[in-house]
Amino acid sequence: MVMRPSTAPVLRAARVNIPAEQESTLPDNAVSAQTREQRTRSKVLVASSTYDSITEPTRLLTWQKVVETPDRPVAVYPPRPPLPLQSLPVLRHLPYSWFALPRVLFGPRSIFWICLVLVCVLVGGGTLGMVEAFKHNPSGNGLLSGPSLQVTPTSADVGAILSLSGSGLSPRTLIGLFRDNAIPISDTNNAPEIYTDASGTINDTVIIGSDWGGGPHTIVLEDAHTHRYISTPIQVTGNIGPLRPAHLHLSANDLDFAAGDQATNTLKKISLWNSGAGQVTWQATTTQPWLMLSPQGGTLSANVPPTDVMVAVNRADLQPGEYTAQVLFSSSAGDSKLPVKMQVVPLQTGHDPVLQLSPALLSFTGTDGGANPDPEVITVSNPGALPLNWKASSNVPWLNISASNTQVAPSGSSTATVKVDTSSLLPGTHSARITFTGTGSTSVLHSIQSVYVSVTITPNCSLQVSPGILALTSIYQQSGRASQTIALGQTQSCAGPVSWSAKSNTSWLSVDQTHGTTPASPTVIANPAGLDAGSHSGSITFSSSYGTQVVLVSLMVNRPNAPSLSLGSAILSFNANASGASPPAQILSLKNNGGAPLSWSASATTLAGGNWLQLSQTSGQLNAHQSGSISVQAAVLNTMTPNTYSGIIRVYVRDATGKLLSQNPQVIPVNFMLGTACTLQVPIPPLTFYGVANQVQLSGAGNTSSAHAVSMSAGSSCTSNLNWRAVPATSDGMKWLHVTPDSGSIAPTKSATMQVSVTLAGLKAGSYSGQVTLSATDDSRRVVSTQHINVYLTVQPPCTLQSPSVGALDFSASGSGAPAAQSFQVGVVGMCSGPVNLDVRGDTSTSPNWLIISPLHVVLHSGETATFTVKPSAASLARGKTYSGSVSLYATEANGMPTVASPQSMKASLSLAGTPKLTAGFDSSHVNTVPGKSSEMIAINNTGDAPLDWTASLQSGTPAYFSLSANAGKNLAGGASANIALLVDTTNAPAGSYTPSVDISATNSLTGTSVGQVTITMTIVVVMPPAMSVDQTNLYFNTVAGSDPADQSVAISNSGGGTLSWTASTPGQPWLSLGSTSGLVNASGGSTLVFKVSASGLAPQPQPYSDSVTLTPSDGPSVMVHVYLTVTAATPPPTPTSAATQAPTPTPQVMITPTAQVVVTPASDPGSAMPSGTVVSAQTPIVTTSTPDVTPIQNRGVDSAAGSVQQTAKTATPQH
């Protein structure tokens, strides 16, 4: 018993069909002891059911309880002394003397003799058992070597538990559980795989699932170490109704991979499962080469976990935009389409290395126990700006990754070869992930990416024995043997005929051929001589190099006067196409070998696909030694899809009294294989090529072919030739993918081959993808098949010297310090003829050579890198200078030819300097200015002995009136200066004081260390310009001839800022003079200009005398002051007269003289619409009143401040 790590007891039950009538039909002395034992062990009855008006026998259930106990360590504590009997509560009140007899009987001597008797009984029983065993098997053929498997019971209903007991397996090895060759099953703990113990044995239980279907099945164990199988048949009985047809179900209706750049590969998982019964064989292709999936095909069984399929988009080498495609699923249960869309956005590389992988997933296919599949290649590219360092790891031990070069230069690529070790993998689909990660101190864009890997292990070659269970009949004590011919074949995975041998486990059972090769039809022979009437069982084991398969044989020896029915076939098989006609009917013969008549009845049951199984006759009678037959027909129904359908024919036999005979019912399995319609069958795994220089190699170890053969065949259901055509296409539009031939014709069941090849002409190193579309039409030009084969090409450079890991070597040292050493890496990639010799040399522009390089020579193989150290020798070099040089690399192949990109050179520089020192300042710390634009110079000085890099910025909060002409400068040599300007724009600034501050910081140009910061500040005062204004611009003088009028003045004020200076022009007339000709006026101050008139010598006249004086300010426009002088004649004294003689007062006479021109100069009034300094001319009439004793008219001037002309006239009253 296998000790399991569980403390819970497990109840296992197994159902066994025991026909009730079977016991009554046997002779009294032939009643099976097994039947009696089963009857006494079980008291559970199952209700009867009917088939075609025939009552099925009542069945008994046998159950057993198995308690599984975990392994526990042996107790190391000392045992406790036994308790006396009187310590028990029940016996506590009994007298002590009552316990004397047990003490005497169970003393040490008594126990010794009792044990001795028990040992003798056990040894004797074992000896008798061995004698009995050799009595029934004198030849010892029952002792079979190698692994063995026992399944109990061998016949059970759906839902019954089968007990599996295997031995002879590899110790502590994984064992796979399968049924019917390669359909995975799980045990009662839902484990599809279990481990053997240290002795190579297992004990497990499985449940017969409802999807198994009735009829014969096989239970298979496979050893993962030896990859040999053990197979034992069972019979599933009971009333099994129709099963749901197989159906391929997808977990998604569409896939959206969203947006990603050219270095982003996106993966999504979908699940596939069979939601019906039976099995579904599926295959998937994509309509675009950038769309991939893994795995690309397989088989889905019912009631097993779904199969995960990883779908990936490979955006490498795609232009930005939106893309759509489809995944096409074709299966034996129908076809499906899965729409896919995704978007490509531009790659933003920046200054980092970029990890780019192609392809995004890998798919391997291998055979159980066969050779490892060919390696696959993953291309690692770096579209970034810096070298990429990477590593890869897997999450499973059976996956191996080897890198050609783990450092990729910018715009370069390397490869990772992936190998799969399938030696420990069982049939099925296995998955893994390869994780790629960027290494080193530099940040890597898109670091940590995964490549999904699937490995599909197809079942190994195995024998196929049909049928696996035989039921033979014979007549007691009559000569003649019972026989049945079986068929030996092999599975499709076998490369050729399989050698086999046969061995029986009992003397009455044999086979006419003990060895041979497939296909074969050996006959199983049962010799009833010497056997008692009743049921006998045996088995024949067929062995091959792949495993063993057991055929179970039951022999019923009947009495001579009892009827006995034998069937001519143990199994029936039909083949047809889904769109074709039904296959021909087959004959099932019946024969009564007994000496009494019998009646029989038959029924047909289908497990899926509808009522496709029909019998020509369902009942009949046979006399002694009479034969009969039933015509069995398998019909192709319209609802049936390509698949394998199962059915059962049950035959019940009754004697003349109506009692059922033993071995009822006899079961004949029926298999109906419905093939697909006419199609072009093509294996469509992706084809991978990689090229080196001008040579193309197919992906695979040691394979140097530049073409890959693709085989195609026309299905057996085709009735005419298929005309096929292959069209290659590439994602980049270049014509590097070719097929030869590109068209042809294939007859039904025949095959053809085309060659898929690639050429490298015009291709640069990188990854490429393409697709071959293969379509086929029949004679009516109807397209019967369209398939796609994805092709991937990786072009590697020839033997090439890679660029160094750094572009240049820059050394610097401050003061008396020595510059630090620097290192760089360089590698060789591509196809090289052998080892590559790499030499390094340093050259400098000055002597002595200050470049010291170590090592100077290395030997590299393709994919390897070397590290070189360069240390400058500055001891003999003068400080304060910069020195230049170069490092040259020369790579030579084993044939003496230089590699591609050889030689290469790197620049080297050495700066030896002291310490820079920063000072800065304005030319003046205080400036007065008027609104407008100006600049103030800033001097940035390096008073040290090493160059510096400086930056300048205005402090936060500085008004927007200030800015800098430059913000940074580099390599300001020691003792040098740089000038920048503080730009001032105070056009719209209000008057006031401003203090802008400038921060200037510097770093050492050679070392990058900080030199310090200087903050400088200046004061800028914004003042308004002076503005001259006068209170009036027109002066009017009136006087009488011979007298001078009073002086008049003009007030001059400064309405702006600062000090205003003004000058007055000299008057043009001699009668006019000024008090002064110049003056100064402070802001908001004023001065007065006096105008003097001398009228002597001026004669009266109707028109006034005029002159003008121009006032010119130091800032602003000039102002003209107009002066008008009116001279009138003197009035004579009045003459006295009498009243009588007084003349009447004459009426004043008003005389209008021609107009005089008055010049008006407006004042600087901000609110006035007239601009300052505009001269306005107006025609003003001069009114003169003429009467006796008239006072002269006085005219007033123009108010310059108001910009209007005022005129007054005074009329003298007459003298009386």
pLDDT for 694: 60
Separation between Cα atoms, residue 300 and residue 274, nearest integer Å: 6
Sort strands 586-592 and 565-567 into parallel, antiparallel or unpaired: antiparallel
pLDDT band, residue 219 (cuts 50/70/90): very high
The mean pLDDT of 634-640, rounded to a whole number, is 86
Whether the model clears a pTM of 0.85, i.e. scores above it, the answer is: no
pLDDT band of residue 684 (cuts 50, 70, 90) is: low
Q: Give the per-residue pLDDT at 1095.
A: 86
Higher pLDDT, 1195 or 337: 337
Average pLDDT score, the chain: 79
What are the tokens at 172?
Answer: 């502590």
- CA atoms of 1185 and 134, how far apart (whole Å): 179
Q: What integer is the mean pLDDT of 443-471?
A: 89
Q: Measuring CA to CA, which residue among 565, 614, 613 is closest to residue 590?
A: 565
Enclosing H/E stretch for 485:
strand 482-485
Average pLDDT over residues 53-71: 40
Question: Which range has the worst mean pLDDT, 29-33, 190-194, 221-225, 869-873?
Answer: 29-33
pLDDT higher for 1048 or 54?
1048
Q: What DSSP string describes 765-817? A: SEEEEEEEEEEEE-TT--EEEEEEEEEEEEEEPBSEEPPPSSSEEEEEEETTP
Residue 590, token pair as written in the block: 């019946």
User: What is the arithmetic mean of pLDDT over 1082-1094?
Assistant: 89
The alpha carbon dihedral of 275, 276, 278, 283 has a sign of negative
Asked whether residue 385 carries a pLDDT value surpassing 60, the answer given is yes
The C-alpha angle 268, 270, 273, rounded to 5 degrees, equals 165
Distance CA 746, CA 1098 (A): 140
Secondary structure (3-state) at 115: helix
Question: Is residue 55's pLDDT more than 50?
Answer: no
Q: 989-1029: per-residue pLDDT in tens?
A: 888 889 999 999 999 887 788 889 999 999 988 888 888 99
pLDDT at position 16, please? 38
Distance in angstroms (rounded) separating the CA atoms of residues 461 and 498: 9
- pLDDT, position 247: 83
Please state, for a pLDDT cut of 70, what percent of the chain lies above it: 79
In this predicted structure, what is the pLDDT of residue 696?
52
Q: Stretch 930-954: mean pLDDT, rounded?
A: 88
Name the β-bridge partners of 52.
Answer: none
Average pLDDT of the residues in 60-80: 42
Q: What percent of the chain has pLDDT over 90?
A: 30
* Residue 391 pLDDT level (bands cut at 50, 70, 90): very high
Quick one: pLDDT at residue 305?
83
pLDDT of residue 181: 77
Contact between 981 and 967 (Cβ < 8 Å): no
- In this structure, what DSSP letter does residue 390 have? E
Q: Which are the contacts of 1146, defined by CB distance < 8 A and separation ≥ 6?
A: 1187, 1188, 1214
Q: Is the peptide bond preceding residue 306 cis, with omega within 30 degrees of 0? A: no
Give tens-digit pLDDT for 1097-1146.
888 888 899 999 999 998 889 999 999 999 888 777 666 654 444 445 44
Give the closest residue to 650 by CA, choosing from 113, 237, 129, 1089.
237
The arithmetic mean of pLDDT across residues 116-144, rounded, is 53
* Full DSSP string of 895-934: TSPBPBT-SEEEEEEEEEE----EEEEES-SEEEE-SSEE
* DSSP code per residue over 960-1004: TTEEES--EEEEE-TT-EEEEEEEEE-TTPPSEEE--EEEEEEEE
Q: Could you report the per-residue pLDDT of 813-844, keeping only the tens digit for each?
A: 766 667 889 999 998 877 787 889 999 999 98
Residue 28 pLDDT > 80, yes or no?
no
If pLDDT is split at 50, 70 and 90, which confidence band does 29 have?
Answer: very low
Which residue in 516, 460, 512, 508 sits closest to 488, CA to CA? 516
The predicted-structure confidence for 180-215, as pLDDT tens digits, reads as follows 878 888 899 988 889 999 999 999 999 988 778 777
- pLDDT tens profile 469-482: 888 888 887 777 88
pLDDT of the residue at 1168? 40
pLDDT band at 30 (very low <50, low <70, confident <90, very high): very low
Q: Which residue has the higher pLDDT, 913 or 378?
A: 378
**Confidence at 1215, pLDDT banded by 50, 70, 90:** very low
DSSP 181-246: TTEE--BTTS-SEEE--TTS-EEEEEE--TTS-SEEEEEEEEETTT--EEEEEEEEES---PBPPP
Domains and CATH numbers, the chain: 10-72+139-237 (2.60.40.230), 245-348 (2.60.40.10), 350-459 (2.60.40.10), 461-560 (2.60.40.3170), 563-677 (2.60.40.10), 678-796 (2.60.40.10), 818-912 (2.60.40.10), 918-1022 (2.60.40.10), 1028-1131+1150-1156+1174-1205 (2.60.40.10)
pLDDT(1203) > 70: no
**Predicted local distance difference test score (pLDDT) of residue 145:** 56
Give the length of the chain: 1216
Average pLDDT over residues 584-611: 88
Name the band, by pLDDT with cuts 50, 70 and 90, for residue 136: very low
pLDDT > 90? residue 952: yes
Q: Residue 957: pLDDT above 50? A: yes
Q: What is the pLDDT of residue 1129?
A: 86
Can you give the pLDDT at residue 1187? 42
Q: In the prediction, which pLDDT does 87 show?
A: 47
